Structure 1
């Protein structure tokens, strides 16, 4: 599947939402094509470079997202909200003449559903607290606080951790292993 790639300093995972501001012509054109063709794009984490740079390097595991809302912002920019659908691997990437990164992607296997083990129940409590923050609450995400995938995905998105660590958490396919690493990272933040 050929899709546009959107390198960011942020991540989003399945069922997660992230607001974006678009101002570069290449991304406004991408948005127009995505809406017209009823398709999404892939958000990949920047490895190095800037979000506005034409020659940014990015990781090859990201998330296929769909646009769920868009509006003109007070600052004159176009604002969109996207929701993650599935983790994907970028098998090949190139740059279109307009500077838009494009890629061939393959979906990764869905992660197995697990109930949050008793030893990680405090992570769900931390996530509930984060969801009380107005910015997070405004995204209107549905979260199953008993599902280890949901808890791990949302904490990976929301916690203030190093971006390389975030990428390692994105790449994990075992929700319980992700919760274990998140618990370690939270203990380091204390």
Structure 2
């Protein structure tokens, strides 16, 4: 299996998540142009250390789990700049990685199984209810769908989907993001997220 190009970010991308990117570094411009031409995907991995923008003294440490990103829309407002709207696909485990020309990361990945549709038990319902209220507020404020951080269909009855959407909205540390990506149990993942929401007093009535 050929290695895939990687895009390390301070924020994780999760399955069915929306990612807006401004691409201006040489290492990513060439890679993204190739993905657009081939209609291929690239991998997004959380940065455990280092900066998103390459620096001479910086050392990037990548998490060992990530998510495939599909380019849903793009535009080039000026030379040397691409603006992307990406959608999260399959989770993967990063088996190995290396840096190539201009510092571009590539890696061998092992796809992870998609979440089964696990219904939300009663004790986790507050997480889904509060997320539903947030989505309703965005819709009532006429936020365009392309600008929303959460994309339809809204699967508020599934543990995995609700957990991932909260993981995108909460200010989680890189190790927490990595841990949620690695957890293949949707109910376990939502339980962890609801604990964070409780501690931050973010749950509605």
| Superposed pair shares fold, TM > 0.5 | yes
Matched, 1:149 2:160: yes
Report the secondary structure of 1:98's partner residue: helix
Contact 1:111 1:173 in 2 (8 A): yes
RMSD of aligned alpha carbons: 2.1
* Unaligned stretches of 5+ residues in structure 2: none
How far residue 137 of structure 1 moved from its aligned partner, in angstroms, is 6.8
Question: Please, what TM-score do these two structures have when normalized by structure 2?
Answer: 0.85
Given that 2:155 and 2:162 are in contact with CA atoms closer than 8 Å, whether structure 1 keeps it comes out as yes
Quote how far apart the aligned CAs of 1:154 are.
Answer: 0.8
Alignment of 1:1-190 (within 5 A): 1=1, 2-53=3-54, 55-73=59-77, 77-131=81-135, 132-133=137-138, 134=143, 138-139=147-148, 141-142=151-152, 143-190=154-201
Distance 1:162 1:73 in 2: 32
Q: Is the 8 A contact 1:112 1:174 kept in 2?
A: no
Give the C-alpha shift of residue 111 in structure 1.
Answer: 2.3
Provide, for residues 68-124 of structure 1, a one-character-per-residue CA deviation record: whole Å limited to 9, x for no partner.
0112358x8321011111000111111112211000111012222211111111111
Structure 1 unaligned blocks of 5 or more: none
Q: Give the TM-score, by structure 1 length.
A: 0.91
Q: CA deviation at 1:136?
A: 8.0
* Paired positions, count: 190
| Structure 1 residue 125 displacement after superposition | 1.8
Distance 1:92 1:161 in 2: 25
Following superposition, which runs of at least 4 residues in structure 1 exceed 6 angstroms of deviation?
A: none
Task: State the shift of 1:181 in Å.
Answer: 0.7
